[in-house]
């Protein structure tokens, strides 16, 4: 048996609207579905193996880039209920970041920082010995690392 590929990546966020301002408004992703679901109707909602504690409801938004064949993001939050946990770093166990391909990383970095997005470091941290910026990391509203690069390495 073989998996076909990545279907989606789910990210639990503290404030769905703030996250949509980042992913939809700043990065240009499209919300294709947004709804609030009662947890009583969700498979595994009572499972201590899947949830830190019982929740009444969750708000979910499926977002992706138009005409993309890439996996889409599922942003979830729990309205009226605090979300626990802290974002992890690249050297910690778990999904450490989300990465997106862009045409020109240096130009994209300039555009994002001009809109108030915080780099995860200084631009010099992402500049190679030849002065080229091939990747950057920023923080989303929850402090989750988001990477931008120019695609697969050539070698």
What number of other Cβ atoms are within 10 A of residue 12's Cβ?
18
CA distances (Å), origin 58, targets 40, 55, 76, 80: 10, 8, 6, 10
HSE, side-chain direction, 13 A CA sphere, residue 46: 2
pLDDT of residue 66: 81
- Of residues 53 and 147, more confidently modeled: 147
Q: What is the pLDDT of residues 12-48, one digit of tens each?
A: 999 999 999 999 999 999 999 999 988 887 777 767 7
CA distances (Å), origin 4, targets 1, 71, 74, 151: 10, 12, 19, 21
End-to-end CA distance of the chain: 30
Whole-prediction pTM: 0.88
109-129 average pLDDT score: 94
């Amino acid at each position: 048996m073989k998996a076909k590929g990545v279907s989606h990546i789910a990210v639990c966020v503290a404030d769905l609207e703030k996250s949509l301002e980042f992913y939809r408004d700043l990065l240009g992703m499209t919300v294709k579905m947004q709804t609030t679901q009662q947890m009583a109707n969700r498979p595994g909602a009572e499972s201590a193996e899947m949830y830190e504690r019982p929740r009444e409801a969750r708000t979910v938004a499926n977002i992706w880039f138009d005409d993309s064949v890439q996996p889409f993001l599922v942003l979830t939050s729990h309205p009226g209920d605090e979300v626990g946990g802290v974002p992890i770093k690249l050297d910690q166990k778990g999904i450490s970041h989300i990465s997106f391909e862009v045409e020109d990383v240096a130009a994209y970095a300039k555009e994002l920082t001009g809109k108030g997005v915080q780099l995860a470091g200084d631009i010099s941290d992402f500049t190679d010995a030849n002065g080229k910026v091939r990747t950057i990391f920023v923080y989303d509203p929850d402090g989750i690392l988001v990477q931008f690069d120019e695609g697969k390495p050539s070698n």
